[in-house]
Each structure stands twice: as structure tokens, then as C-alpha cells.
């Protein structure tokens, strides 16, 4: 029995791609339904801020044409997806949440957008981000304020808050996000969906519309998928990780590595994080789910995160102090101005020696984490020390900002080592979603997805709001 085309927006990407290949419904019908859902749900949450209905329908017709000719339409055949406004998509402004860039129209697609298209995905819109893509909240002066569809009183996360809010609301099955300090992992947590930060070099990225990234961004920033199921993350990663020579960091590592022992490390309070009882309960619940499936879980400290987080901030601000602060003044976004002031308060200006010392120390932390993750192929730790924050908490006072950044230790510290991380939602029964973060060794996203699937399977499926 075929599904009605008007009932496809709530399906997973895996279900949509399989249904289109089996011709249970056409890609064009799916795209029309996704666009109707966008029109219905987006006004309340402002997740999608750039629109392309005709281009989406044209892409869907191309998928249908390929299937009619007996050709392989790609792993994401006809799946509706969204793309974040901080990556180049030909014909659209790469605003990065800035009025200054509202006319910065890309002439060509970034590698991640190219790979999504080649995989058969249908891009239905572009999603919101805070100014400069630097907050765990999503509001800016050009596109406005994104709300969390599960609870408008809490943040949708950031900087990929638009992407996670869209996926949670059923606006597309997959959202593209970027992560340099939690910008995939935290929005997935806040919106009660699943989010994968891949290993550095796994997903090719480059914006021809802007200058080359400084070394901090090169070492720590990645693109990754947000979805409502672990299976969809796996499908999206396969598409996003295709080769593209435009990114010299891209690495031809296999998506599936060798067998690994089912052994996990549980760390409730990494380096003394003030983990709340609700978050601790989620962590212990996830550990029990793995144990029930035959995994061995040991409660143990993890390698350092505080010093990596400090060095991460040092490298971020070393970049901004070389030029971004001029743009900060010109943009005059009140949220960004306040956030940068607090970050600079917490991070003194480094000299050249301190900058070189940071890059040198990075190797030591990479080594420590590599060795730890050989013993424990998965580390279970908080996404945040607290449940998702009240919306806009960070800009209410310097003290509130300090509370937020302390709770986000694992978000900021891990990218220095270029490691992959996975947010798995475990509980949607309360006023704020809860979940856990899994960490694995470099290019072992397969381990994260395997463990994440076990945790997911022991809970309730994630449905669109």
C-alpha cells in the first residue's frame, strides 16, 4: 500500500529515499509536501530565512527523471534538506547572520552543498545562525530570532539553531550544520534531535565568497548533519563526506573502520563540571542502555578539556583580533558585541609565542585523547552541564555569560583535537530535551553511530513537533 504524498514530511530521510526509489511516491510530491510544511511551521519559529521553492521542485524533478531512466539518483534521493546561511550556495547570500554580508551572493556551491546535490538531496531552504555564527543562541540583526519548536522559552541552540529547529519541526529530514565549538552538537541537544560533528577532514568545506580561514578555523571547524534518527545521520554523512579537492584538509578515510571492543567510558563531571541532576540521570540512563545491549561501561575521568578549551578560545580570538573586530564594530549587532566583549574579558591577548605555544600544546592533547580512545572506543559525557538554557541567557549579564560558557566546557574543548562527537537525545518528556554526548577516535564516526543507535533504540522514536 503506497503512502499518501501528503504524509511524507514527517518521515525520516531513510524512509523518504527508500520510498522514492520504490516509486511509492515521487520526489516532486515529497518536495511539494516539504515546502507546504515549511510554509506552515516556519512562521512560528523563523528557522528558515532564505527560500527557493522553484529550485527545490526542479531538483526533485531531476531525481524523478533519473529514476525513470533507471539511473541511481544517489543515497539522498529526493530527501528534503536545509543548508545553513554560513556556507556558499550559488545564487544566495552567504550572510553568516550579518547585514554586512547581505549582498555577498555566492557564485558557486561550497563542497558540502555540491555533495548534497550530487547525492540527490533537494535543498528547500537556508537556515538561520547568530551573527558571525558564534553563540549557543540564534538571533541576529538581519534575519531575526529563531525559536525552539519544542519550547519557545528555551534556546534552539546555536550556531546551527535554525537547522536543528527546522529538523525538529519537520521542515526537511536533514539539516546541514557547522561546528567549531558545539554548533551542531548543542542545537541538536536543545531541540531534541540527533547531531553529528564529524572528524576534521571528513567533510570537505570551503567558501569561495570569503577569504581563507585562519589556522584556528582550519583545525577546528567542520560541517555535519542534524536529523531525527541515527540512521539518517549515517545516510547524510555518506553524502557529505564525498571527495572534493577544493578542501586540502579532506581525508579519504573509510566510513567504516575495523572491529572494536564494545567498551565505553562514562564521565559525569569532566574536570569538575557542575553537572545537574537531570543531566547526570540522562548520562547514567544512556550508560545503562549500552550495558543492557552487552557493552562494558566504566566510570572514569577523561583526558583534559579545560586547557584545550582555553587554547581553543585563544585561537578563536587571535583570529578576530586580526580583523574581525572591525567587522564587529561595523555590524553593530548588540548580541555579538556583548558576547565578544565577554570572551575577550576571559581571554587575554596572546603574543606570537603564546600563539605558537597553543599550537604546540595541541599535539599533546591529541595524543592523550587518542590513547584514551584506544582503551575506551566511546566516551559518554555531557553535551552541557545543564539542560538547555533559557533563551538569550548569555546576553543578560556577564555573570550569566560565565555560567553558560562554564556549562559548555565539552563543547569548546573537544574541537581543539579535531575529534568527532555525537549528540543523542534520550528524553523528550519534560519541558526541555535531554541527551548525552558520545566521543570517539578520529574518523571513527562509525563507532559513534553504532553506540548512538543502541541508545536511540532503547528510547522513544523522535517525531517532528
- Catalytic center residues: 84, 159, 183
Cell 561501561 -> residue: 297
Tell me which residue of 357, 273, 367, 345 sits closest to 315, measured CA to CA.
Answer: 357
Tell me which residue of 50, 52, 85, 337 sits closest to 209, measured CA to CA.
Answer: 85
| Stretch (H or E) spanning 421 | strand 421-427
| Stretch (H or E) spanning 123 | strand 122-127
Report DSSP letters for 161-214, one per residue.
HHHHHHHHTTS-SEEEEEESSSTTHHHHHHHTSEEEEPPTTSS----TTSPPPP
Torsion-angle region of residue 115: left (phi > 0), alpha (psi -120 to 50) or beta?
Answer: alpha
Work out the angle between the directed axes of helices 13-21 and 53-68 (0-180°, nearest 10).
Answer: 50
Give the separation between CA 307 and CA 343, rounded to whole angstroms: 15
Cell 543531566 -> residue: 279
Cell digits for 38?
Answer: 515549511
SS3 153: coil
DSSP-derived secondary structure letter, 424: E
Report DSSP letters for 286-353, one per residue.
HHHHHHHTT-EEEE---S--HHHHHHHHHHHHHHIIIIIHHHHHHH--HHHHHHHHHHHHHSPPP-HH
With 0-12 / 13-18 / 19 or more C-beta atoms within 10 angstroms meaning exposed / middle / buried, residue 259 is: exposed
CB 299 within 8 A of CB 330: no
Give the separation between CA 305 and CA 270, rounded to whole angstroms: 8
Give the separation between CA 260 and CA 221, rounded to whole angstroms: 27
Amino acid at each position: 500500500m503506497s503512502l499518501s504524498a501528503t504524509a511524507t514530511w514527517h518521515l525520516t530521510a531513510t524512509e523518504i529515499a527508500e520510498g522514492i526509489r520504490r516509486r511509492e511516491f515521487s520526489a516532486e510530491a515529497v518536495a511539494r509536501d516539504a515546502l507546504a510544511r515549511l510554509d506552515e511551521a516556519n512562521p512560528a519559529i523563523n528557522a528558515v530565512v532564505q527560500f527557493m521553492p522553484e529550485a527545490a521542485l526542479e531538483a526533485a524533478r531531476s531525481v524523478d527523471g533519473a529514476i525513470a531512466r533507471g539511473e541511481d539518483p544517489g543515497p539522498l534521493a529526493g530527501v528534503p534538506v536545509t543548508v545553513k546561511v554560513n556556507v556558499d550556495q550559488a545564487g544566495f547570500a552567504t550572510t553568516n547572520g550579518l547585514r554586512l554580508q547581505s549582498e555577498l551572493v555566492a557564485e558557486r556551491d561550497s563542497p558540502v552543498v555540491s555533495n548534497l546535490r550530487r547525492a540527490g538531496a533537494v535543498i528547500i531552504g537556508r537556515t538561520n545562525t547568530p551573527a558571525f555564527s558564534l553563540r549557543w543562541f540564534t538571533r541576529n540583526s538581519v534575519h531575526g530570532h529563531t525559536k525552539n519548536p519544542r519550547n519557545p522559552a528555551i534556546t534552539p541552540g546555536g550556531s546551527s539553531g535554525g537547522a536543528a529547529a527546522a529538523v525538529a519541526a519537520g521542515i526537511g529530514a536533514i539539516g546541514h550544520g557547522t561546528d567549531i565549538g558545539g554548533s551542531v552538537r548543542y542545537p541538536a541537544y536543545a531541540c531534541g534531535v540527533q547531531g553529528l560533528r564529524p572528524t576534521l577532514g571528513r567533510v570537505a568545506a570551503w567558501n569561495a565568497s570569503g577569504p581563507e580561514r585562519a589556522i584556528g578555523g582550519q583545525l577546528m571547524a567542520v560541517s555535519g548533519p542534524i536529523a531525527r534518527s541515527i540512521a539518517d545521520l549515517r545516510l547524510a554523512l555518506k553524502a557529505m563526506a564525498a571527495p572534493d579537492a577544493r578542501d586540502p584538509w579532506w581525508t579519504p578515510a573509510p566510513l567504516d573502520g575495523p572491529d572494536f571492543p564494545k567498551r565505553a567510558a562514562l564521565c559525569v563531571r569532566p574536570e569538575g563540571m557542575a553537572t545537574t541532576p537531570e543531566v547526570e540521570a540522562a548520562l547514567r540512563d544512556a550508560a545503562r542502555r549500552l550495558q543492557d545491549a552487552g557493552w562494558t561501561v566504566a566510570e572514569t575521568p577523561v583526558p583534559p578539556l579545560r586547557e584545550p578549551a582555553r587554547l581553543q578560545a585563544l585561537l578563536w580570538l587571535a583570529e578576530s583580533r586580526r580583523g574581525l573586530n572591525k567587522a564587529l564594530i561595523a555590524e553593530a549587532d548588540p548580541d555579538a558585541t556583548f558576547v565578544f566583549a565577554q570572551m575577550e574579558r576571559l581571554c587575554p591577548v596572546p603574543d606570537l609565542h603564546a600563539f605558537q605555544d597553543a599550537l604546540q600544546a595541541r599535539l599533546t592533547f591529541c595524543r592523550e585523547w587518542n590513547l584514551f580512545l584506544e582503551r575506551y572506543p566511546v566516551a559518554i559525557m555531557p553535551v552541557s552541564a545543564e539542560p538547555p538554557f533559557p533563551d538569550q541567557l548569555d546576553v543578560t549579564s556577564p555573570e550569566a555569560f560565565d555560567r553558560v560558557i562554564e556549562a559548555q566546557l565539552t563543547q569548546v574543548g573537544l574541537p581543539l583535537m579535531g575529534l568527532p562527537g555525537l549528540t543523542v537525545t534520550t528524553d523528550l518528556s519534560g519541558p526541555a530535551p535531554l541527551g548525552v554526548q558520545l566521543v570517539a577516535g578520529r574518523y571513527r564516526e562509525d563507532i559513534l553511530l553504532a553506540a548512538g543507535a543502541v541508545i536511540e533504540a532503547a528510547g522513544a522514536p523522535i517525531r517532528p513537533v
